Amino acid sequence: MTFRIQESVNWEAVIFTLSGQLGTEAVAELERLFGDHAQDRTFILDLKDVGLVDRDALRFLARCKTNGARLKDCPEYILEWIFRNDHKG
């Protein structure tokens, strides 16, 4: 799987622009990058150029959203998956 993470920081948030295919390797790298930043920072994940996303990455994105991260330009199928899994039961 090929992925790329571009990081930028402004006064409001840390923005991670993601592209390619997201899987376990991308999740591990994002978790490491999250740990590199202050806990009081807002995270924005720009998903405009994301292609395929595996189940581990979907779960990770759902956790990010639950924990307050913003999913920018998120593909509809990811939002649908998160919504369905948040409302099971």
With beta carbons less than 8 A apart as the criterion, state whether 27 and 10 touch: no
Q: How many domains does the chain have?
A: 1
Q: What is the pLDDT of residue 61?
A: 95
Helix locations, 9-75, DSSP H = 24-35, 55-66
Q: What is the pLDDT of residue 41?
A: 78
The whole-angstrom separation of Cα 67 and Cα 63 is 6
| Residue-range definition of the domain harbouring residue 81 | 3-86
Q: What is the pLDDT of residue 28?
A: 94
CATH of the domain at 42: 3.30.750.24
Mean pLDDT of successive 10-residue stretches along the chain, which has 89 residues: 88 92 93 80 93 92 92 93 76
